Structure 1
């Protein structure tokens, strides 16, 4: 299969992958790796580990492609993200949690302008608050807000109902708002409740 066929649907690509078609695998991986990597990085808060998780997920795709049921209840992208999330959760459980405060700060190559510094500090504060959430809330926030999935899509990935996902999101927003308010940051997310 040539890379010139990027419009082939995922189910067809999986069928070709099951037959050993490396070109189909390349097209599918090119199509979905960036979002899978984004999910893994948000859950793990570690780019190197996220990359390893996504590679492991693609190995599963290659070895299990023949078991995929075309036209089933879930889209391939939903299944892939669920595999990535489960691998992230397994990895965190095995290794334990490293606090964000213990991670080394990376120098910012951008010019040291006041607004850039303030924006970066706000992002770090929000990331630290997000990292302090319970795992299921953090995953729900990552999927719905950062990956822009609907509650229904996130629910399918997490094997939860839409009301359960919405409940996780509501609890996460309250917890984040409380943590940010304690740091003197107000007005975050108040219009969403």
Structure 2
């Protein structure tokens, strides 16, 4: 029997996954609504293509549903496992696309902003996405997970299957490369030294 939707909001991800594996459709809905924005955002930041990111997010969640019956609570966090799957799927797609430029897709306009603010924000997002696209794959993934997704270095290390020190090195080098790539655009992007 499915639990009421509102009683599942505070249930941890791994418990929801086990409930889903036992036939609880409401648990699947809650977990999907909770995780989809995260995995899509991560895939979009790494790939720079909305359609590709949607495909990766969908594939990652399908893999999660397939592993649900065998999930053992307490061994790994669902989000860590899922970010690792997304990272691997993105790496596979990037390898296949070598030599082909990934088109940067504009973010949808926010109706609450004025046109000038929307254009400036879009220019900033495009500049960041272009700069991220110039980073080596591992640096890009580390920077996105740390500074855009807000994950901690130990969790990133687990996702990328590297040491915490390697994560720190990747993010530091990535941040320096981003700063250098964006330095000449500060004024055009509406930033001042004040």
TM-score (norm 2): 0.82
How many residue pairs match? The answer is 182
Cα distance in 2 for residues equivalent to 1:30 and 1:12: 15
Shift of 1:22: 2.1
Partner in structure 2 of residue 43 of structure 1: 46
Partner in structure 1 of residue 63 of structure 2: 60
Shift of 1:17: 2.0
Within the candidate set 13, 17, 25, 1:14 is matched to 17
Partner in structure 2 of residue 79 of structure 1: 81
Indicate the SS of the match to 2:5.
coil
Cα distance in 2 for residues equivalent to 1:106 and 1:29: 22
Instruction: Structure 2 unaligned segments of length 5 or more: list them.
Output: 188-194
Q: Deviations over 1:2-40 (max 9, x none)?
A: 312222222222222222332221111111111111101
- Verify: 1:173 aligned to 2:178, yes or no: no
Cα distance in 2 for residues equivalent to 1:41 and 1:133: 15
Partner in structure 2 of residue 136 of structure 1: 138
Indicate the SS of the match to 1:4.
helix
Cα distance in 1 for residues equivalent to 2:74 and 2:107: 45
What RMSD in Å do the two structures reach over aligned CA positions? Answer: 2.4
Instruction: Structure 1 unaligned segments of length 5 or more: list them.
Output: 187-193
TM-score (norm 1): 0.83
